[in-house]
Structure 1
Amino acid sequence: MTRRIRAPHATPLMDVWLDSDKNVPSRARRDADSVIGDVDPETRYNFLLIVSELVSNAVLHSRGPLRLRVWREEAVLRTEVHDGSSLPPTVLMPSTCRPHGRGMFLVDSFADDWGFEATPTGKVVWAEVSTAPRADPESRSGREQVPTVPTSSRPGSGG
């Protein structure tokens, strides 16, 4: 599995159970925005987009309630979405032929790291965004995005 940034003793800033309905992604985004504190606008946008996409995927692909957790530790924002589906998340290239399927592509493009873990009741998908100033003057969201090489906890990696 990919490393976890947060310490085992860390207390999440947010830990909520949400019903699975179409209004949940906007509520999750709003609630996460209220707890992450002072971060630069680009980091805030990227993190909240990731929260929204992970929650949207959970609503679309699983049944029952989902759990959203958010941490801020040192120079990292982390979110986890727990849902009842055992299917791993899949990164699809965007297509004009499909009305859906861009969520994990966006997560992969904007997260500094992400992965998933199977649980006894489904899975947890997590993503992290650095809050540290970028050494590269070119912003992450302003450059062309190229899908990353899978890590051991990503689909199709053989691990």
Structure 2
Amino acid sequence: MAERAHVPYATPLVDTRLSADKNMPARSRRLTGDALGEIEPDTRYNFLLMLSELVANAVLHSRTPERLRVLRVGDRLRVEVYDDSSDFPVVMTPSPHRVHGRGMLLVDALASDWGVNSTPSGKVVWAEVRLSAAPSCREAHVDMFEKDQVRDLGRT
């Protein structure tokens, strides 16, 4: 995780207010999906999944999610989710006994880079994917667990 406060030379694709509505992740995905244009399908899927997890976290863990921004920064897509909580997100170890707690694990696996910055009203959590080299969903899934514990069983 890195900290990057200022993003020079960014092209805004989405800049909208968020609300504490349980449907906000789905609405944010639709709005962003329409704004992304033509990009590689795995990159689109990974980016929208990360965006959805970040928006869901803001809705779940803050009193008021504030803002969603999606930017194109050179060869990267960047999502920024602002909320009023000063609590930073945590990447948790997966457990079959927990219903929640995998969102930031997914973001960490799919993002080229991600981080958190404090703001005067709370924080912004951001994540980026490279447009030319996003990992496939299968590769990201394998990276989420220890690779030596994963075997390719092939088709039976």
Q: TM-score, normalised by structure 2?
A: 0.84
- Structure 2 counterpart of 1:48, one-letter code: L
Q: Which runs of 5+ in 2 are unaligned?
A: 146-156
Question: Hey, which of these two has a bigger chunk of helix by percent?
Answer: 2
**1:97/1:5 Cα in 2 relative to 1: closer, same or farther (>3 Å)?**
same
Larger CA Rg, structure 1 vs 2 = 2
Q: CA offsets, 1:48-80, max 9 Å, x none?
A: 000000000000000124200001132110000
Alpha-carbon distance in structure 2 between the residues aligned to 1:66 and 1:140: 30
Corresponding position of 1:150: none
Alpha-carbon distance in structure 1 between the residues aligned to 2:67 and 2:5: 18
- Structure 1 counterpart of 2:143, one-letter code: Q
Q: Which runs of 5+ in 1 are unaligned?
A: 148-159
- Structure 2 counterpart of 1:112, one-letter code: S
SS where residue 142 of structure 1 aligns? Answer: helix
Corresponding position of 2:138: 142
Asked if the contact 1:36/1:72 (under 8 Å) is kept, the reply is no
Asked if the contact 2:15/2:67 (under 8 Å) is kept, the reply is yes
**1:100/1:61 Cα in 2 relative to 1: closer, same or farther (>3 Å)?**
same
Q: TM-score, normalised by structure 1?
A: 0.82
Q: Say what the alpha-carbon RMSD is for the aligned residues.
A: 1.9
* Aligned-pair identity (%): 52
Aligned residues: 142
Corresponding position of 2:115: 115
Query: Alpha-carbon deviation of 1:132?
Result: 1.1
